[in-house]
């Protein structure tokens, strides 16, 4: 947490994952398998702890293994998970009309939030102040896309901008409440995953118009540090990401880590990343995982992590290369 705050804590980058890590290899070893680990707080916590004890991550995740919990309580229908498949958005309740747009009542009594509350209790009792625990969910923009449908919502950014603002005003308010609830449960920081706001889907100009002020308002109204994760090549929006008030940004391998670190550090923001999840951790060799980890370290990452959520079928041996590479890298530097 001192490193995330930008304080000097010495050289070694920490190793972990600031997105989801519901890996089949870890589930099998710890005995907490999806779909039980998606809904049962004991299994949920066991899998989170296994990330620390088995995968050698140096901090742990609360709030389950997908990025749909806010969308779910706001009305999205979810597809059923399997051991190698996380919850996913199945239907968009506001696709045809915004009449149902509202802030739900008693949100923390609905969906999986009661299970998350218990998971936080288990993790905080287990780790106390020794290991950081973070919460994560989809961000307000991605939640809006889930409610309306991503393709339609993106069209609205050109033709129906008032509707876009109407929806994100509501999802933003709910997201702020969820984040502050997580801090009240003991979260040390919170990761907002915004895959639907990436440059592959929207221009930097649109990001500046809608997402930047939305994120800035969120960061101003929450009780603790935020890490913003966005997929794809974020080079063109990294300066704006860092100007929202976030404590950290999480980037994929498509982004330029060295440049991101330069930009972020100038704004007192830390960087997480960026070993490729699909091409390397999931489908690559352990040697390639090691090489990419070394490259991220050479380029100055503050937290050596996968560039995105780890695919369920990723080999554990591949993921453990992050710790091996970090240890070797700093050992070689004396």
DSSP string, 143-168: HHHHHH-HHHHHHHHHH-HHHHHHHH
H or E segment and range at residue 119: helix 113-127
Which residues is 78 bridged to in the sheet? 89
Q: Which among 313, 324, 329, 334 has a CA at the least distance from the CA of 287?
A: 324
Q: How confident is the model at residue 35 (pLDDT cuts 50, 70, 90)?
A: very high
Q: Is the peptide bond before 190 cis (omega within 30 degrees of 0)?
A: no
* Dist. CA 76–CA 87, nearest whole Å: 11
Q: Report yes or no: 280 and 253 within 8 Å, Cβ to Cβ.
A: yes
* Dist. CA 27–CA 30, nearest whole Å: 5
For 135, list phi and psi in degrees, rounded to 5: -100, 160
pLDDT in tens, 318-329: 999 999 999 999
Q: Report yes or no: 289 and 281 within 8 Å, Cβ to Cβ.
A: yes
pLDDT in tens, 236-265: 999 999 999 999 999 999 999 999 999 999
Q: Is the peptide bond before 17 cis (omega within 30 degrees of 0)?
A: no
User: If you average pLDDT over residues 185-201, what whole number do you get?
Assistant: 96
pLDDT in tens, 36-69: 999 999 999 999 999 999 999 999 999 999 999 9
- What integer pLDDT is reported at residue 333 of this predicted model? 82
* E strand intervals along the chain: 14-15, 60-61, 77-79, 88-91, 133-138, 189-193, 226-229, 248-250, 270-275, 303-306
- What integer pLDDT is reported at residue 334 of this predicted model? 67
Token pair belonging to 216: 């800035």
Q: How many residues are there in the chain?
A: 334
Query: All domains of the chain, ordered by start, with CATH?
Result: 14-329 (3.20.20.210)
Which residues is 14 bridged to in the sheet? 303
* Dist. CA 37–CA 29, nearest whole Å: 13
Look at phi and psi of residue 261 and say left if phi exceeds 0, alpha if psi is from -120 to 50, else beta: alpha
Dihedral sign from CA coordinates of 63, 225, 13, 228: positive
Average pLDDT taken over every residue of the chain:
97
- What integer pLDDT is reported at residue 8 of this predicted model? 83
Token pair belonging to 301: 């990452």
* Dist. CA 228–CA 160, nearest whole Å: 26
CA distance readout (Å), 294 to 58, 108, 226, 273, 328: 18, 41, 26, 12, 9
pLDDT in tens, 78-112: 999 999 999 999 999 999 999 999 999 999 999 99
- What integer pLDDT is reported at residue 22 of this predicted model? 95
CA atoms within 13 A on the CB side of 55: 35
Residue 69 DSSP SS3: helix
- What integer pLDDT is reported at residue 102 of this predicted model? 96
């Amino acid at each position: 947490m001192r490193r995330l705050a930008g304080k000097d804590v010495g050289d070694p980058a920490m190793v972990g994952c600031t997105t989801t890590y519901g890996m089949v290899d870890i589930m099998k070893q710890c005995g907490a398998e999806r779909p039980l680990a998606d809904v049962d707080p004991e299994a949920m916590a066991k899998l989170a702890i296994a990330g620390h004890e088995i995968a050698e991550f140096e901090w742990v995740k609360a709030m389950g293994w997908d990025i749909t919990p806010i969308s779910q309580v706001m009305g999205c229908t979810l597809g059923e998970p399997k051991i190698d498949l996380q919850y996913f958005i199945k239907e968009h309740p506001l696709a045809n009309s915004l009449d149902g747009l509202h802030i739900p009542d008693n949100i923390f009594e609905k969906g999986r939030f009661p299970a998350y509350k218990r998971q936080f209790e288990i993790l905080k009792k287990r780790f106390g102040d020794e290991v950081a625990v973070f919460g994560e969910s989809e961000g307000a923009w991605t939640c809006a896309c889930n409610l309306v449908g991503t393709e339609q919502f993106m069209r609205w950014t050109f033709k129906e901008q008032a509707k876009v603002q109407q929806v994100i005003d509501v999802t933003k308010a709910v997201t702020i409440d969820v984040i502050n609830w997580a801090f009240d449960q003991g979260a040390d920081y919170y990761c907002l995953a915004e895959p639907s706001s990436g440059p592959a889907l929207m221009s930097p100009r649109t990001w500046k118009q809608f997402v930047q002020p939305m994120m800035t308002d969120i960061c101003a109204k929450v009780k603790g540090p935020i890490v913003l994760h966005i997929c794809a090549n974020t080079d063109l929006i990294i300066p704006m990401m860092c100007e929202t008030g976030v404590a950290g940004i999480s980037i994929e391998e498509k982004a330029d880590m060295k440049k991101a670190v330069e930009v972020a550090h100038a704004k007192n923001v830390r960087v997480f990343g960026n070993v490729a999840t699909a091409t390397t951790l999931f489908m690559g060799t352990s040697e390639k995982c090691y090489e990419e980890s070394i490259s991220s370290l050479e380029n100055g990452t503050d937290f050596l992590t996968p560039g995105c959520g780890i695919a369920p079928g990723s080999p554990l041996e591949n993921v453990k290369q992050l710790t091996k590479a970090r240890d070797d890298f700093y050992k070689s530097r004396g």
